[in-house]
Amino acid sequence: MTRHSSIVGGSTAGRLLECPGSYQAQLALPPSADVSSEYSREGTAMHAVMDRLMRDRQASPTAFDSTGERYIGEIFADRALTSDHIDTMIAPAILHLEELEIAYGGVFRVLGVEQRVQFPGLPGAFGTCDLILSSDTHVLHVDWKFGQGVAVPAVYNEGDSLSEKLNPQMVFYTAAAMNSLKSIYVPKKTVVIAIIQPRTSPSLTHAEVTRKEIKWFVEDLHNAVVAALDRDPPRARGEHCRFAPCKVSCPLWTGPMLDLSAMGVLAPRTEMVTSEPSAYGEYLAKAKDLADLAAMFKKEVDEQLHAYLEDGGSVPGWKLKAKAKLRQWIDQETVTRELYDLGLSPDEINVTKLNTFAAVEAAAKRRGVKIPDHLRVAPPSNETTVTRADDPAPPVNRALAVDQFRAALAHLKSQEG
């Protein structure tokens, strides 16, 4: 395996395992600009904050100030740290880290922050562990994620392969750390992977990883690299394609787009509702799958179109324009004073409302108090939302409710007769 150059990293390991053909397919695409979003830039800044805090902890474990408030106003990456950043991301991340450490016995020390590690057997295949903690019994590998869109768990729904059970990015980093920092992985210590994503639910996911699972993962990834470099590497469509730019030219994606077009206008419902399998139900299932694929396909096409135009390319029928941004108040003091001079009342100028759960919980943590559970309740709801059949949430059986209502109505009519 030492003859291969690097064709895989932590973020692409899962994709390569599922679709070895994605490597050559991506190489065939024209180069594009790295157009980062506001969300990714914000995530980079928050990673820099956590980097600083964990290095502080590593340097002075007993005098470590976990609040991060001392750094408010300091520039991290491209922005100044604010109290809102602390309340909604940094403080919750620290809370979940404390929860994680307690779950595995506590008394952890920081061994690595933004630790660069080398994956075994693949020269040039490096990764970076956000945080490595060690105790007498465990080694924790922690990844910070500050997005608020798609939740990224440490453990996926268990399936037939390792990549469906454990997060492949985290297993890649762990295998690389075990290869690069061999002395800390003594046999008696249990290896743990964890992802802390404060703005999603669940915000903390973690799992123990056996050395056998690590060994199998390394072997599987080596085999995937060999397959990826073959003349005709296999391709597969799935969730691993979510962030894959090569799906714009993949026949497994362009084919379903043709199927969606062939379906034409959404057919009206002409049959009675039934809980049994029906032609209309099958039609909706296929239409929903294709519509979801189309949405993912559109997102990738839009991103590549933007990047190509940013690089100076020409796309018939499309051009770049300046992005309009929402106007904002210049500053609170000036705006309040001048609006008051115009005759607006204080109530018309300023609105007071409760802060978010995350912000208040962070403030409570700083004061050493616990928010009573009865202050946060979920309102009753008769509404439903659509999810996949393998979602662990219990199903809402509307058909059963309708049958029960019909039976009750029939009983009532019989009593009247």
Q: What is the CATH number of the domain that holds 72?
A: 3.90.320
130 and 36: one domain? yes
Per the domain annotation, does 316 fall within a domain? no
348 and 216: one domain? no
* Type of residue at 108: F
DSSP 89: I
Per the domain annotation, does 166 fall within a domain? yes
Residue 163 pLDDT greater than 70, yes or no = no
- pTM (predicted TM-score): 0.67
- Give the Cα separation of 181 and 164 in Å (integer): 27
209 and 62: one domain? yes
261 and 166: one domain? no
Per the domain annotation, does 265 fall within a domain? yes
Per the domain annotation, does 1 fall within a domain? no
β-partners of residue 129 are 115
141 contacts 170 by C-beta, under 8 angstroms: yes
Range among 72-86, 161-175, 229-243 with highest mean pLDDT value: 72-86
At residue 211, the pLDDT reads: 93
What are 226's two structure tokens? 């060999």
- Give the Cα separation of 21 and 79 in Å (integer): 39
Over residues 170-175, the mean pLDDT reads 95
172 and 254: one domain? no
At residue 165, the pLDDT reads: 77
Per the domain annotation, does 79 fall within a domain? yes
Q: Is the preceding omega at residue 202 within 30 degrees of 0, hence cis? A: yes
146 contacts 86 by C-beta, under 8 angstroms: no
Per the domain annotation, does 317 fall within a domain? no
Residue 1 pLDDT greater than 50, yes or no = no
Per the domain annotation, does 223 fall within a domain? yes
What are 403's two structure tokens? 């049958």
Q: How many residues are present in the chain?
A: 417
β-partners of residue 113 are 131
Over residues 205-212, the mean pLDDT reads 93
Residue 5 pLDDT greater than 60, yes or no = no
Range among 192-201, 269-278, 286-295 with highest mean pLDDT value: 192-201
223 and 295: one domain? no
The closest of 246, 228, 164, 174 to 6, measured between CA atoms, is: 228
* Type of residue at 11: S
* Type of residue at 321: K
* Type of residue at 359: A
298 and 341: one domain? no
In tens, the pLDDT along 359-415 reads 777 778 777 888 888 887 777 766 766 666 666 677 766 555 556 556 666 666 666
- Give the Cα separation of 217 and 125 in Å (integer): 15
Q: Which residue segment(s) compose the domain that 147 sits in?
A: 13-228
Per the domain annotation, does 158 fall within a domain? yes
Question: Within 13 Å and on the Cβ side, how many CA atoms surround 4?
Answer: 19
Quick one: angle between helices 357-367 and 91-103, nearest 10?
Answer: 70
> Where does residue 381 rank: exposed (0-12), middle (13-18), buried (19+ CB within 10 A)?
exposed
How many structural domains are present in the chain?
A: 3
DSSP letter string over 271-310?
Answer: S---SS--HHHHHHHHHHHHHHHHHHHHHHHHHHHHHHHH
What are 37's two structure tokens? 């979003």
Q: Return the residue matching tokens 């080398």.
A: 118
At 209 the three-state DSSP class reads strand
- Give the Cα separation of 144 and 204 in Å (integer): 10
170 and 54: one domain? yes
20 and 139: one domain? yes
199 and 63: one domain? yes
20 and 119: one domain? yes
In tens, the pLDDT along 265-275 reads 555 666 666 66
Mean pLDDT score across all residues of the chain: 81
- Give the Cα separation of 161 and 164 in Å (integer): 6
Element (H, E) at 132: strand 126-134
Ramachandran area for residue 367 (φ above 0: left; ψ -120 to 50: alpha; else beta): alpha
46 and 128: one domain? yes
Over residues 325-354, the mean pLDDT reads 83
What are 194's two structure tokens? 């964890």
At residue 162, the pLDDT reads: 45
**In what order do the strands lie in the sheet containing 126-134?**
109-118, 126-134, 138-144, 190-196, 204-209
Ramachandran area for residue 264 (φ above 0: left; ψ -120 to 50: alpha; else beta): left
